[in-house]
Amino acid sequence: MNNNLVEVKHLKKYFHQGHPDEVHAVDDVTFSIRRGEVFGLVGESGSGKTTTGRCVLNLYQPTAGQILYHGQDVTALKRGRAFKKFHHETAMIFQDPYSSLDPRMAVRDIIAEGLKVHQQTSSRQELDQRVAETMELVGLTPDVMNRYPYEFSGGQRQRIGIARALATDPEFVVADEPLSALDVSIQAQIVQLMEHLKSTKQLTYLFIAHDISMVKYISDRIGVMYHGKLVELGTADEIVNHPLHPYTKSLLSAVPVPDPTYERVRQPFTYDGDSAKLPLREVSAGHYVALAE
């Protein structure tokens, strides 16, 4: 039985096609996400993580490849009932909790927007009740729903963004760098919140981040991206404790260790190669890596 909720097959996304400045943001990426799983996607800035996430949600039209959701190719959806149903069942948590919220809209209206679009409530009272329940779910009190984003801290704004994503009861959520703009202490709170919501709401996540040390705590499996390619794929334990690709080792070596004596003498491992151009090969059950020939 196929337990995959999302399947990405040979995804490509090129910008400025046919021009001298053509960019291969995502170049032949393949992976799957199982139901109830947190799939982490890590890599440096510009590696293609966010573009991949946006393509998965059909926010970007892929140049080539397939994206299957419940077995249906969503790249073929343009408008109509199936298109609306897909966007009802999926959601995105954006990276910047400051610019992703409209400063002219009250929190109530921000969270209620999806409910209105998908016509999930029949009265103003029911709408307010759904907004209040969603705010409580992410640790916010409903009595602040008439305030504006500038009146909240960064961590609170990210909770508002999460509430907006969850208001329509999605099944699949793409979390695009949801921690990068937050302090370390707030990052831990948001990770704990997302883990709690995963278990209580039976969510499936595509968790995008550049900090592999944070991704390992929340992810079941991790894919490592480099220059638009997927260079390694495996369980969180395999990727963190038994990395095979040199770029994965480089990412792990950049994670700071809370030991000043060790930090003064350690030599970070750097990688600047081209083995990302090679196809993935299975080296153990479920563990894939782009190996040099």
In this prediction, residue 189 carries a pLDDT of: 82
Q: Does residue 221 carry a pLDDT above 70?
A: yes
Could you tell me which of 40, 31, 35 has the C-alpha nearest to residue 203? Answer: 35
Calculate helix-pair angle for 154-166, 107-117, nearest 10 degrees.
20
- Cα–Cα distance measured from residue 167 to residue 128, given in angstroms and rounded to the nearest whole number: 11
Q: Does residue 66 carry a pLDDT above 60?
A: yes
Q: Measured in whole angstroms, how far is the alpha carbon of residue 29 from the centre of its chain? A: 15
Question: Taking residues 267-283, what's their average pLDDT?
Answer: 70
Q: Does residue 80 carry a pLDDT above 60?
A: yes
CATH number, domain containing residue 166: 3.40.50.300
Question: Taking residues 152-162, what's their average pLDDT?
Answer: 90
DSSP string, the chain: ---EEEEEEEEEEEESTTSTT-EEEEEEEEEEEETT-EEEEE--TTSSHHHHHHHHTTSS--SEEEEEETTEEGGG--SSHHHHHHHHHEEEE-S-TTTTS-TTS-HHHHHHHHHHHTT--SSHHHHHHHHHHHHHHTT--GGGTTS-GGGS-HHHHHHHHHHHHHTT--SEEEEESTTTTS-HHHHHHHHHHHHHHHHHHT-EEEEEES-HHHHHHH-SEEEEEETTEEEEEEEHHHHHHS--SHHHHHHHHTS--S-HHHHHH--------SGGGSPEEEEETTEEEE---
Q: Which amino acid is at 149?
A: P
In this prediction, residue 9 carries a pLDDT of: 95
Q: Does residue 203 carry a pLDDT above 60?
A: yes
Question: Taking residues 61-72, what's their average pLDDT?
Answer: 94
Question: What does the mean pLDDT of the chain come to?
Answer: 88
Question: Taking residues 76-96, what's their average pLDDT?
Answer: 86
Q: Which range is most confident: 51-65, 168-182, 279-293? A: 51-65
Q: Does residue 248 carry a pLDDT above 80?
A: yes
Is the model's pTM score more than 0.85? Answer: yes
Cβ(212)–Cβ(180) below 8 Å? no
For residue 20 the two structure tokens come to 């001298």
- Cα–Cα distance measured from residue 171 to residue 154, given in angstroms and rounded to the nearest whole number: 26
Domain containing residue 195: 4-290
Question: Taking residues 194-209, what's their average pLDDT?
Answer: 91
For residue 95 the two structure tokens come to 């990276």
pLDDT in tens, 168-190: 999 999 999 887 767 777 788 88
pLDDT band, residue 270 (cuts 50/70/90): confident
- Cα–Cα distance measured from residue 142 to residue 224, given in angstroms and rounded to the nearest whole number: 39
- Around Cβ 223, how many Cβ atoms within 10 Å? 27
Q: Does residue 95 carry a pLDDT above 90?
A: no
Per the structure, the count of domains in the chain is 1
In this prediction, residue 112 carries a pLDDT of: 93
Tell which phi-psi region holds residue 105, choosing left (phi > 0), alpha (psi between -120 and 50) or beta: beta
For residue 90 the two structure tokens come to 């999926």
In this prediction, residue 293 carries a pLDDT of: 42
Produce one character per residue of 170-190: b if its CB has 16 or more CB atoms within 10 Å, e if not. Answer: bbbbbbbbbbbbbeeebbebb
pLDDT band, residue 260 (cuts 50/70/90): confident
Tell which phi-psi region holds residue 271, choosing left (phi > 0), alpha (psi between -120 and 50) or beta: beta
End-to-end CA distance of the chain: 35
In this prediction, residue 236 carries a pLDDT of: 94
